Amino acid sequence: MKIQEAVRSAVENNPLYSFILSTGLANLSAIARAIKPLVDAAAGKDAKIPTIVKALERLGKPAEMAATALVGFKDVEVFVYSGIAEVEDGNVDLNALRKSNEPFIAISDGAKLRILAPARLLGWGDADKGLVKVMFPRRAPVGAVTFLVQLMRAAGMSPDHVLRHDNELYIVAKREELPRVLDIIERTKRLAEGSSITTEG
């Protein structure tokens, strides 16, 4: 298989790479490094990064997205909370947190319990995190967490936590990264809307 064909196959068979090319969230060199093992295996030789970059440039922006990666994103609602602190159990009153109607997350690894909640409710902890809640109209699609994590990492971000519960996704990140998290979600939503229009029309 020629390198150009191997690059096209690598992109078309992975919704993440198609999405990144469509939105420009990561540069072509980063994508080339990510797909190099796939291209090498398909082409049967060691493809150079500049060669893969040129092949990506020739592809342009994929006209169609793999729908499975975007299912449901066009109808999501997004809520953002800043001033979130993360603390280990301590003397946190979970009942008081529930009654507050404020967002909070309890994470247990079996040995210890970590609480993420507004610092003003906890009374201690650094309010250096933000929480983004993505609410789907129905159950969150399978693979949504993996898709968003890979997408954020490709854009140079490292979220602290990405969790799924029923029809909601929770993304915990440094407070200064919240605008970028929102930008990624908004771009995903817009692309899902466009994909839906293309499919239905």
Give SS3 for 88. strand
Q: Strands, E, within the chain: which ranges?
A: 77-88, 105-108, 113-118, 129-135, 161-165, 168-174
What CATH number should be reported for the domain whose range is 73-200? 3.30.2130.10
- The pLDDT, as a whole number, for residue 57 is 86
Alpha carbons within 13 A on the beta-carbon side of 67: 8
pTM of the model: 0.66
pLDDT digits (tens, 9 = 90+) for 55-84: 988 886 654 444 455 667 888 999 999 899
Q: Which two tokens stand for residue 64?
A: 């169609």
Which percentage of the chain shows pLDDT scores above 90?
24
